[in-house]
A = this chain, B = another copy of it.
Amino acid sequence: MIVVMQTGATKGQIQQVEEMLIHLGFKTHPIYGEVKTVIGAVGDKRLLNTQLITNMPGVEDIVPIMKPYKLASKELKQTKTTIQVDDIIIGGQEIVIMAGPCAVENEQAFYETAYKVKEAGAKILRGGAYKPRTSPYSFQGLEEEGLKMLDIAREETGLKIVTEVLDTRDVEVVAEYADILQIGARNMQNFRLLKEAGASGRPILLKRGLSATIEEWLMAAEYIISSGNPNIILCERGIRTFETATRNTIDISAIPVVKELSHLPIIADPSHATGTWKYVTALSKAAVAAGADGLLIEVHNDPTRALCDGPQSLRPDKFTQLVDELKAVAVAVHRTI
């Protein structure tokens, strides 16, 4: 890291900072400019409480040189991580489609949707049993009853299951049923939940927080990896910006950026990103073209009657058509669906 001293920092202050750095195990390399002095400090900043330095008299700023994440970084592991769920590989040649309704609600409708998304080409079934809702007056999910319906759908269709966990107390029961545990955007920095979910041993689908930088997102992944679970699928689902034409703004650049910085696979959720089914097709194609390893798409048999996120759900026929169109885009970027 580089310690930047204030304009006008005294010799004594510079010396004290150097002494502190040496005391903390760093090698120091002061550089005296005409106006400012900076001190290069060689050592592992990640193990340091940088405030020991930041608050010393005469210090203006600390510029880190290394990324704050380590295990999630390509600097440590350069081969791409692939995550295997039975015979499905996420992060490989194939683009994996995950689809299903926002929430598990009506039993029959749910099984029907499950069959249809399977037929269309999805490999993994999504469906929320525990729902984080902005309003306390909205439907909050069927909880364990919903998990059981997911289980039956898996039995019947052979699809694998991804479902969200909201509360550390539910990790155990959700992990019992789910093939992949989802951490929602609102919980991306619920560090206790990250650790607990990581400890379950299940692969984790980690959604990007609504206002999380890519660096913070990779730090959230670092929490899970550092608790012993390297099987993380990152999911870009839109960030909050000033634009209101779409519910969120999908940060499509996050796909190539994450691929540059990390070895983890990354998928996109165009349904939550836009909040409107009519933009899902264009964004799905864009995500695949940009290099996404998969898609998470909301499909509902009867969006008009969905208890959750109906406006962004595709009907099964539209979804089938989308997957067909996506195949051509996948081929164009040398992938398969």
**A contact set with B: CB distance below 8 Å:** 2, 4, 7, 29, 31-36, 38, 40, 42, 46-47, 49, 51-52, 54-56, 63, 65-66, 68, 75, 132-140, 166-169, 186-187, 189-193, 210-211, 213-216, 219, 222-223, 226-227, 239-246, 249-257, 260-261, 273-274, 278-279, 282-283, 285-291, 303-311, 325, 328-329, 331-333
Q: A213–B33 contact, CB under 8 A?
A: no
Q: For the complex formed, measure the closest distance between the CB of A32 and the CB atoms of chain B, giving whole angstroms.
A: 7
Known A252-B252, A257-B246, A279-B253; contact A216-B134, beta-carbon cutoff 8 A: yes
Q: Which residues of B contact A137 (CB under 8 A)?
A: 46-47, 226
A282 CB contact (under 8 Å) in B133, B193, B290, B309: B290
Which residue of chain B lies nearest to A313 when distances are taken between CB atoms in the complex? B55
Are A189 and B186 interface neighbours, CB within 8 A?
yes
Are A222 and B167 touching (Cβ within 8 A)? Answer: no
A46 to chain B, nearest CB (A): 6
* B31 close to A136 (CB less than 8 A): no
Per DSSP, chain A at the interface is: mixed
Say how far A11's CB is from chain B's closest CB, in angstroms.
17
Bound CA–CA A241/B248 (angstroms): 12
Which of A2, A291, A325, A332 is packed against the most chain B CB atoms within 10 Å?
A332
Residue in B closest to A48 when the chains form the complex, CB atoms = B137
- Decide if B213 touches A242 in the complex (CB within 8 Å): yes
Contact B310 A55 (CB under 8 A): yes
Q: Considering residues A135, A250, A260, A311, which has the most beta carbons from chain B within 10 angstroms of its beta carbon?
A: A135
